Amino acid sequence: MRIYTEDNVIDIRVLETGREDFHIGVKVNANGFVAQKDSIGINMQSFDVFLKQLKAFQNELKGEVILDSMSPGEFQMQLRAAGKRYHVVVQGQISRTIYQAESALLNTLQFAFRVDTAYLKGIVSDFEALLADHKVTTA
- In the predicted model, is pLDDT for residue 91 greater than 80? yes
Residue 138 lies in a domain: no
Task: Tell me how far CA of residue 11 lies from CA of 16, 52, 99, 137, in angstroms.
Answer: 16, 21, 26, 23
What pLDDT is stored for residue 136 in this prediction?
A: 57
Give dist(CA 17, CA 9) in Å, integer. 24
pTM of the model: 0.90
What pLDDT is stored for residue 135 in this prediction?
A: 59
- In the predicted model, is pLDDT for residue 139 greater than 50? no
| Range of the structural domain that residue 11 is part of | 2-129
Residue 136 lies in a domain: no
Q: How many domains does the chain contain in total? A: 1
Residue 139 lies in a domain: no
Q: What is the pLDDT of residues 116-133, one digit of tens each?
A: 999 999 999 999 999 987
CATH number, domain with residue 109: 2.30.31
What pLDDT is stored for residue 25 in this prediction?
A: 98
Give dist(CA 85, CA 29) in Å, integer. 25
